[in-house]
Amino acid sequence: MAERIPAEERLTNLVVALMATEIGLTKQQILASVSGYRQRAEGRADALDKMFERDKDELRALGIPIETLGDHADPNDLREARYRIPKAEYDLPVDIEFTPAELAVLRLAGSVWSEESLSADAQAGVRKIRALGIDVDEPIIGFAPRITARDAAFAPLQGAIERSVVVVFDYLKPGEQAPRRRRVQPLALVEYEARWHVFGRDVDAEGDRMFLLTRIVGDLKVTSDAFPSELREGAGERALASLEAVAAAHSALLEITPGTEAALRLGRRAEPALQGIRVPYVDLHILADELASYGPEVRVVEPAVLRDAVIVRLRAAAAAHSDAKDEA
């Protein structure tokens, strides 16, 4: 059975294909060439037609201008209609100018994009279009930025999500003496407060769970046990909403020294309070690590459990520094 391509990936591949040529593609060429449709070529033709029509409507609703081109002799004859996304619709107006600073930011943002970042399926679609004898007018910029992640589990998790297969890993929660084995259907990788999380369904617990990548112990195993790719739809949004809800329910009251690194970094996500600032947080232990790194620049007013956790870390750092001094 052919692998099902998620709807959002199918739409991306369709955009890539429709931007790849000036003369447009027929529906038959699209259904045979674009990843997400061609995997279902053995299915019912009417179902594929309806899927394509829905996708066109969705892209147009997003503001993407899909043109329908009729026969050259009779433009109203749409029996062999061709579809395209005109590049001119994406060109900036000639009267728009950028300052040197704005151009520097644009160049920096553009540096993370490359044709090589285009998904394998999208590249395959463009190659198939070329094979039809239709010229691709110019290189297409990829849609996925290069992501740098120091967590060893990131890359295998990303691959497992794309393939919709179960992963197995050992996970060490704060306060536990030994890690526990987890079997998870990974649905989305999300970055929150500069840390990567994997959101998925814990197979054994039979429920959705969030795991911090830095707490995965040892090597992560990618299995061949597949799960329905439809479970991934909207998973990233659900994960972020869950993290934001947790942060909204927990906050720390802090006093910080003005003009310090702590004031700069914490102030970005804090709200003013009568006594200092209030900082929302998702994980008490992660926040305690961060606050301890600022040393005397920050003091925890509440909650008491966070203050105690910071004190434990500061004492451990002082003890380690004292031991290192004694050895020297």
In this structure, what are the phi and psi dihedrals at residue 325, rounded to the nearest 5 degrees? -65, -40
- DSSP letter (8 states) at residue 135: -
What is the helix, strand, coil percentage profile of the chain, to 5?
45, 20, 35
Which two three-digit tokens encode residue 211? Answer: 């795991």
Work out the pLDDT band at 113, boundaries 50, 70, 90.
very low
Whole-number pLDDT of residue 181: 94
Average pLDDT value over all residues in the chain: 79
**21 pLDDT above the threshold of 90:** no
| pLDDT (0 to 100) of residue 142 | 43
| Interval 175-194: pLDDT, tens | 788 899 999 999 998 888 77
Average pLDDT over residues 53-62: 82
Q: Of 113 and 137, which is predicted with more confidence?
A: 137
Tell whether the model's pLDDT for residue 102 goes beyond 80. no
The separation between CA 253 and the C-alpha centre of its own chain, rounded to angstroms, equals 31
For 268-325, what is each residue's pLDDT tens digit?
888 898 889 999 998 899 899 889 988 899 999 999 999 999 999 899 888 877 765 6
Please say if the pLDDT value at position 37 is more than 90: no
Contacts of 250 (CB under 8 A, 6+ apart): 280, 281, 282, 284
pTM: 0.51
Q: How far apart, in whole angstroms, are the C-alpha atoms of residue 227 and residue 7? A: 16
For residue 45, the model assigns a pLDDT of 72
| pLDDT of the residue at 146 | 43
Task: Assess whether pLDDT exceeds 90 at residue 89.
Answer: no
- In this predicted model, which residue has the larger pLDDT, 6 or 198? 198
Amino acid 108: pLDDT: 52
Strands 180-192 and 165-171: antiparallel
Instruction: Report pLDDT for 144.
Output: 40
154-242: what fold?
SH3 type barrels. (2.30.30)
What's the pLDDT at 114? 45
Domain edges within the chain: 7-131, 154-242, 250-327
Q: What is the CA radius of gyration of the chain?
A: 26
Give the list of residues 6+ apart from residue 5 with CB closer than 8 angstroms, or none: 13, 35, 36, 39, 121, 229
Question: Worst-scoring range by mean pLDDT, 39-48, 220-229, 245-254, 312-321?
Answer: 39-48
Query: What SS3 state is found at 312?
Result: helix
**Is residue 42 packed enough to be buried (19+ CB in 10 Å), middle (13-18) or exposed (0-12)?**
exposed
Please compute the mean of the pLDDT values over residues 142-152 and round it to a whole number. Answer: 51
**In the structure, what pLDDT confidence band is assigned to residue 43 with cuts at 50, 70 and 90?**
low
